[in-house]
A and B are shown apart, each in its own frame.
Chain A
Amino acid sequence: MSTATRDEQPLLRVRDLTVGFTTAAGETNVVKHLDFDLARGGALGIVGESGSGKSMTSLAVMGLLPKGAKRTGSIELDGTELTTLRERQMQAVRGDRIAMVFQDPLSSLNPYYTVGTQIMEAYRSHRTGVTRRAARKIAIEAMERVHIKDAARRVDHYPHQFSGGMRQRVMIAMTLSMEPDLIIADEPTTALDVTVQAQILDLLAEIRRDTGAGLILITHDLAVVSEVADHIVVMRDGDLVEQGPAERIFCDPQADYTRMLLDAVPRIDDEIGLLRTTSTEETR
Chain B
Amino acid sequence: MSEPLLRATNLVKEFTIRGTGLLGRAARLRAVDDVSLEVRTGETLALVGESGSGKSTTARLIARLIDTTGGAIEFAGREVHALTGKDLHAYRGEVQVVFQDPYSSLNPKHTVERIVTAPLIYQKRPVPGGARAFTRELMERVGLNPDHSARFPAQFSGGQAQRIGIARALAVSPKLIIADEAVSALDVSVQAQVINLLRRLQDEEGFSYLFIAHDLAVVRQIATRVAVMNEGRIVETGDRDQVFGDPQDPYTRKLLAAVPRIRPEWDAARRRNERARRERQEAGA
Write the A216-244 contact mask toward B (1 if CB under 8 angstroms, else 0): 00001111101100000000000000000
Contacts of A271 in B (CB 8 A): 220-221
Q: Is the CB of B262 within 8 A of A195?
A: no
Instruction: Tell me whether B144 and A274 are in contact (CB under 8 A).
Output: no
* Interface flag for B273 (CB, 8 Å): yes
| CB <8 Å contact, B262 and A222 | yes
Whether B134 sits at the interface, judged by CB under 8 Å, is: no
Given A50-B187, A251-B273, also A275-B262 (CB < 8 A): no
Q: In the complex, which residue of chain B has the Cβ closest to the Cβ of A201?
A: B260
- CA–CA, A73 and B101, complex, Å: 38
Check B220–A266 contact: CB distance below 8 A: yes
**What's the Cα separation between A280 and B254 when bound, in Å?**
35
Interface string of B32-61 (1 = CB under 8 A from A): 000000000000000000110000000000
Is residue B274 contacting chain A, with contact meaning CB distance below 8 A?
yes
CA distance A223 to B261 in the complex (A): 5
In the assembled complex, the Cα of A269 lies from the Cα of B243 at a distance in Å of 11
B255 near A194: Cβ-Cβ < 8 Å: yes
If the complex has contacts A268-B217, A272-B192, are A195 and B273 also in contact, measured as CB distance less than 8 A?
Answer: no
- Chain B residue at smallest Cβ distance from A50: B187
Assembly CA distance A213 to B273 (angstroms): 34
Q: Closest A residue to B158 by CB, please name it.
A: A50
Give the docked Cα–Cα distance between A263 and B187 (Å).
13
Count, chain A residues at interface, CB 8 A? 41
Residues of B within 8 A of A252 (CB): 269-270, 273
Given known contacts A252-B273, A267-B220, is B195 in contact with A275 (CB within 8 Å)?
yes
Q: Measured between C-beta atoms, what is the minimum distance from A231 to chain B in Å?
A: 15
0/1 string, B243-261, CB within 8 A of A gives 1: 0100000000011111111
Residue from A251, A265, A270, A274 in contact with B193 in the complex, judged by beta carbons closer than 8 Å: A274
Smallest CB gap from A266: residue in B: B217
B196 within 8 A of A: yes
Chain B binding surface, main DSSP class: helix
Tell me, yes or no, whether A259 is within 8 Å of chain B by CB.
yes
A283 near B193 with CB under 8 A, answer yes
For residue A284, CB closer than 8 A to chain B, the reply is yes
Q: Given the complex, which residues of B lie within 8 Å of A275, measured CB to CB?
A: 192, 195-196, 199, 221
Alpha-carbon distance A209/B264, docked complex (angstroms): 25
B196 touches A197 (CB 8 A): no
Verify B188–A261 contact, CB threshold 8 A: yes
Q: Give, as a whole number of angstroms, the nearest-CB distance from A83 to chain B.
A: 31
Is there a chain B Cβ closer than 8 Å to A156's Cβ? no
The answer to the question of A260 belonging to the interface, with a C-beta cut-off of 8 Å to chain B, is: yes
Q: Is the CB of B187 within 8 A of A194?
A: no
- State how many angstroms separate the Cβ of B269 from the closest Cβ of chain A: 4
The interface bits of chain A over 110-147 (1 if a CB of B lies within 8 angstroms of the residue's CB, else 0) are 00000000000000000000000000000000000000
> How far in angstroms is the closest Cβ of chain B from A116?
26
Chain B residues with Cβ below 8 Å from A195 are 50, 254-255, 258
Tell me, rounded to whole Å, the shortest Cβ–Cβ distance linking A251 to chain B: 4
A268 to B195, CA, bound (A): 15
Q: Give the CA-CA distance A261 to B254 in the complex, in Å.
A: 27
Interface residues of B in 204-254 (CB under 8 A from A): 214-218, 220-221, 244, 254
Distance of A259 Cα from B273 Cα, bound (Å): 11
Q: Are A260 and B269 in contact (CB-based, < 8 A)?
A: no
Alpha-carbon gap, A251 to B264, bound state (A): 10
Q: Is the CB of A251 within 8 A of B221?
A: no
Residues in chain B near residue A8, CB distance under 8 A:
none
Q: Which residue of chain B has its CB nearest to the CB of A259?
A: B274
B127 within 8 A of A: no
CB–CB B197/A282 < 8 A: yes
Within 8 A of A (CB), among B130-162: 143-145, 158, 160
* A positions within 8 Å CB-CB of B: 49-50, 193-195, 197-198, 201, 220-224, 226-227, 247, 250-253, 259-272, 274-275, 278, 280, 282-284
Q: What 3 A-B pairs have minimum CB-CB distances, sorted nearest first?
A: A266-B217, A251-B269, A264-B192
User: Mind listing 7 A-B residue pairs with CB under 8 Å?
Assistant: A50-B158, A194-B215, A197-B260, A198-B257, A226-B266, A261-B189, A274-B189
